[in-house]
Structure 1
């Protein structure tokens, strides 16, 4: 029953946005609304963090947890993806290069802005914590709006679900990445003394840092939400830097390590090193993981 109460309303919001076409929600308005709403929610998460007692130790705890999960995911996922690439015919990059500088700088600028909103919220929260109330409820309410807009954006992207799920390479990469990431999350929970479901929830963002931390915080655990945020942010930044080298191994390694971001932020760089033929694979793999993030995180958070 707890799982249904947690997951049900979030899925309703997500699929309502995906299936119902409301004319006023144009692609431009949805994209702009998503960007602004994400920053607002991240600022509110910062407020929640700033209002916590013993904030410094909790931030250090979140950073330590993120580091442990990050190392485990990197080792286990890269190993699994390398082996799957050898077994199922992953392609190799033809040559090393620098990749599109604009794509890298855009992603890094977004990361800096995101961190800025969280830090700003933390600072305000520290000085106003005696007057703050209802922040968690507000975050939860905005979370439903966020998932509705994400559903709208998925529909407006004109991705045909059947074609995406039938892309063999993309499906294999997604399945291997999901399995190895969840395995790393389970091992990380043992190392850190967390409950198994929290370990699985914190790694289920698959690099989507602007959603994973929001979801977990909105579901009642701001420290674990901060862990997920730091973990996925680090994963995206490292993926951007390592694509030129990972692509020399095989496409499963480079595409899979990018996680959910393979269909957006890291797509131009992946295309640069693997050629245009990798684009459908990236979109399929990234989409499968993206659509699972708002399902798996509430599912795992509601267990245990």
Structure 2
């Protein structure tokens, strides 16, 4: 019952944004509001963390968990994607060019800005530890609005499930990435002394750090939410750094390790090293994982 009451409203909100067209919600406004809302929620997550008792101990726990998880997820996912690439990958010519320094600089600046909002929230949380602000309640309501905006963005991008599922390479990459990532999460539950459903939930962001941390925190576990945030942020940064090298082996490695971000943030880099023919594969794979993030996280956490 807990699973249904948690997952139901989140999915309804996402689908409402996808199906209902509201004139004030133009693509430009949705993109702007989405970016601002993400930073606001991340700041509130930081506040919630800063107000916790034994903060340093809990941050050390989250950091340790994130390191173990990124090692497990990376090793198992890359192994599975290497095998699937050898078995199913269609030959495509790579377009090896050096990474544009501006792109790398922008990626690092975005990561720094994101972390700054969280750190700023933590500082305010420490200072205002005794303030009664009902932060968790605010995060939950903002989370609903965030998912509504994500639904709007998916509709405005003309993403159609039927067309995407026809892209066999994208589907194979997504399935291999999902299975190996979840297996890594399950293994981590034994190493990190987590419940099995927590191990599965914490890896179910598939690189979408701005949503995974928010979802898990909004569902009542700020420490695990911080772990998910650190894990997925690390995954995105590592993907940006290693796409040029992975692309030389096969597209399954570069596209799959990019996770949910293959359809947006890492897409320009993937196109740079694989050519335009990789774009439908990236969108298919990234879209499948992106859709599953707001489904799997509340699904697993609702199993307690």
The bucket for the TM-score relative to the shorter chain is over 0.9
Tell me which residue corresponds to 1:74: 74
CA contact (8 A) 2:41 2:142 kept: yes
Alignment of 1:211-230 (within 5 A): 211-230=211-230
Give, in whole Å, the separation in 1 of the partners of 2:65 and 2:240. Answer: 22
Deviation at 1:91, TM superposition (A): 4.0
Tell me which residue corresponds to 1:155: 155
Corresponding residue SS for 1:99: coil
Give, in whole Å, the separation in 2 of the partners of 1:70 and 1:122. Answer: 23
Corresponding residue SS for 1:23: coil
Give, in whole Å, the separation in 2 of the partners of 1:35 and 1:56. Answer: 29
CA contact (8 A) 1:103 1:265 kept: no
Provide Cα deviations, 1:74-130, integer angstroms capped at 9, x if missing partner. 000000000000000254663643233333322222111110000000001001011
Residue 88 (str. 1) matches residue 88 (str. 2): yes
CA contact (8 A) 2:204 2:297 kept: yes
CA contact (8 A) 1:82 1:250 kept: yes
CA RMSD after TM alignment: 1.1
Deviation at 1:131, TM superposition (A): 1.1
Tell me which residue corresponds to 1:4: 4
Alignment of 1:254-273 (within 5 A): 254-273=254-273
Tell me which residue corresponds to 1:284: 284
Give, in whole Å, the separation in 2 of the partners of 1:148 and 1:12. Answer: 9
Alignment of 1:60-139 (within 5 A): 60-91=60-91, 94=94, 96-139=96-139
Give, in whole Å, the separation in 1 of the partners of 2:236 and 2:194. Answer: 24
Provide Cα deviations, 1:228-261, integer angstroms capped at 9, x if missing partner. 0000000000000000100111000010000000
Give, in whole Å, the separation in 2 of the partners of 1:56 and 1:91. Answer: 50
Provide Cα deviations, 1:130-155, integer angstroms capped at 9, x if missing partner. 11331000100100000000000000
- If the length of structure 2 is used for normalisation, what is the TM-score? 0.98
Where structure 1 has 5 or more consecutive residues not aligned to the other structure, the ranges are none
Give, in whole Å, the separation in 2 of the partners of 1:280 and 1:139. Answer: 34
Give, in whole Å, the separation in 2 of the partners of 1:282 and 1:133. Answer: 41
CA contact (8 A) 1:99 1:273 kept: no
CA contact (8 A) 2:47 2:122 kept: yes
Where structure 2 has 5 or more consecutive residues not aligned to the other structure, the ranges are none
Tell me which residue corresponds to 2:30: 30
Give, in whole Å, the separation in 2 of the partners of 1:104 and 1:149. Answer: 27
CA contact (8 A) 2:95 2:274 kept: no
- If the length of structure 1 is used for normalisation, what is the TM-score? 0.98
Say how many residue pairs are matched. Answer: 304
CA contact (8 A) 1:270 1:278 kept: yes
